[in-house]
Amino acid sequence: MTIEVRIPTILRPLTSGAKSVSAQGATLQEVLNDLELNYPGMGERLIDESGLRRFINIYVNDEDVRFLSGLQSAIGENDSITILPAVAGG
């Protein structure tokens, strides 16, 4: 099962500039593990020891995974994943 993952500008140095890449997995965690295999360094930009990083948003289709099941969110055949860093500051 191949999932399309949209990559934000700040992480494109890890994907040789690609705006979207393909990944495999039945849960978000599996998809992120697969991304880390193919694009080393991606994982730590997205997750830390407590889970999804506070200022990283990941969406499955139109849903923020924080309102789904977080890293355990199920990913299906035609789903697409979007990664967006928060726009935030002080």
Partner 1 sequence: MLFGMLEIQRSLVDAIVAHARADHPDEACGVIAGPIGSDRPERLIPMVNAVRCPTLYEFDSMDLLRLYREMDDRDEVPVVIYHSHPATQAYPSRTDITQASEPDAHYVLVSIRETGPVEGPFEFRSFRIVDGEVTEEQISILE
Binding residues for partner 1, rule: CB under 8 A, are 8-10, 55, 57, 59, 62, 64, 66, 82, 84-90
- Provide the edge-to-edge strand list for the sheet that holds 2-6: 20-24, 2-6, 80-85, 56-60, 63-64
The nearer residue to partner 1, 18 or 24, going by C-beta atoms, is: 18
Distance CA 73, CA 29 (A): 8
Instruction: Select 37 or 61, whichever has its Cβ closest to partner 1.
Output: 61
Provide, rounded to whole angstroms, the least separation between the CB of residue 88 and partner 1.
Answer: 4
